């Protein structure tokens, strides 16, 4: 009886899929392995597919959209359906430019031939269960990328409605959950689902916070004080209220926001937790979306 091996190819233009799907099936026709190839066009679709299906191998082109700036690549070794999968990364980048979660993999530099890629895949598939290198604690990340995308969308939409102009989003990066939050004032909500739990925090430096609060209160604010500090919880309520219907469809529940005042605020997390930081900039300052995943 053949052993079924399910392979996820994350590839937006079908280039990798076209290279391997038919030739791989032909070369393994007389073997004990029956390959099943599934394609995702970007990181968000890959996250959705891994919610419902277990994969033995994941093949990634690092240039696909919504991959390097989302949560999918940071949780490959902790998602229940990919944590044991062999990982092949096809890239033009140096390994030092990749997230930690992609460095412990088989890396193939572009340009790559079909034969080189297929032989690499066959060698790994024939080697039995994947010997996945243990990722560092800071690279483990398990929050659904769809949740992150929903919060990003809600944040930018709400601020646009407030009249906050010229918001730009920086590159997402891993962050130790044991480091203090960025900014001087934060609002934190706890999130829970069947597969993970954790926290979402929105933190502002003084400039960005006073900019947003001035618009909300329709009065120029020049200092953080007792009269305006509670507005951070209201901002969070509005953002998560906008994202809630989408997030709850993913089986994720949210708690009431908790306000943390002062630079250096810290969320106490157990060992094995992991984090991601997504920075934003306005014309007057910066704010940050921090996502922390806690082992369940």
pLDDT tens per residue across span 42-92: 888 888 888 888 999 999 988 888 776 656 776 676 677 887 788 899 988
**CATH number of the structural domain spanning residue 185:** 3.40.1550.10
Tell me: the pLDDT tens digits for 166-199?
788 887 777 777 788 888 888 888 888 776 788 8
Statement: residue 38 has pLDDT above 80: yes
Task: Answer yes or no: do 19 and 106 share one domain.
Answer: yes
Q: Is the distance from CB of 10 to CB of 47 less than 8 angstroms?
A: no
Per-residue pLDDT tens digits for 212-226: 888 887 888 888 777
Same domain, 134 and 161: no
Split into its structural domains, the chain has a count of: 2
Give me the chain's average pLDDT, please: 79
Residues 104 and 228 in one domain: no
C-alpha–C-alpha distance, residues 70 and 62, integer Å: 12
Q: Look up the CATH number of the domain holding residue 110.
A: 3.40.50.2300
pTM of the model: 0.54
Query: What is the residue range of 188's domain?
Result: 145-294
Q: How far is CA 17 from CA 53, 113, 194, in A?
A: 18, 13, 32
Reduced to 3 states, what is the DSSP secondary structure of residue 103? helix
pLDDT tens, residue by residue, 103-123:
667 888 888 888 889 888 988
Do 149 and 134 reside in the same domain of the chain? no
Based on the fold, state whether residues 193 and 124 are members of the same structural domain: no
Residue 231 reports pLDDT greater than 60? yes
Peptide bond into 46 cis (omega under 30): no
Distance CA 68, CA 204 (A): 24
pLDDT band at 143 (very low <50, low <70, confident <90, very high): low
């Amino acid at each position: 009886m053949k052993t079924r091996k399910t392979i996820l190819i994350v590839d937006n233009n079908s280039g990798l899929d076209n290279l391997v799907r038919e030739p791989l099936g032909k070369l393994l026709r007389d073997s004990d392995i029956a390959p099943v190839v599934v394609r995702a066009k970007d990181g968000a679709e890959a996250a959705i597919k891994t919610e419902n299906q277990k994969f033995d191998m994941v093949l990634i082109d690092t240039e696909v959209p919504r991959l390097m700036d989302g949560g999918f690549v940071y949780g490959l070794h902790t998602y229940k359906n990919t944590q044991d999968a062999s990982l092949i990364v096809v890239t033009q980048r140096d390994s030092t430019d990749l997230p930690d979660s992609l460095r412990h993999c088989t890396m193939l530099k572009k340009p790559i031939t079909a034969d080189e890629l297929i032989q690499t895949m066959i060698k790994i598939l024939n080697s039995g269960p994947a010997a996945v290198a243990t990722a560092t604690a800071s690279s483990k990340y398990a929050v659904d990328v769809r949740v992150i995308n929903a919060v990003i969308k809600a944040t930018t939409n709400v601020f646009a409605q407030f009249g906050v102009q010229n918001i730009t989003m920086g590159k997402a990066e891993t962050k130790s959950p044991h480091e203090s939050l960025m900014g001087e004032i934060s609002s934190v909500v706890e999130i829970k689902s069947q597969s993970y739990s954790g926290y979402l925090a929105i933190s502002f430096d003084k400039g960005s916070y006073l900019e947003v609060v001035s618009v909300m209160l329709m009065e120029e604010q020049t200092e953080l004080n007792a009269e305006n500090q509670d507005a951070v919880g209201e901002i969070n309520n509005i953002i998560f209220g906008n994202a809630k219907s989408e997030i709850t469809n993913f089986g994720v529940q949210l708690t009431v926001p908790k306000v943390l005042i002062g630079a250096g605020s810290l969320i106490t997390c157990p060992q094995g937790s992991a984090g991601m930081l997504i920075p934003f900039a306005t014309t007057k300052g910066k704010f940050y979306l921090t996502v922390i995943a806690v082992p369940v």
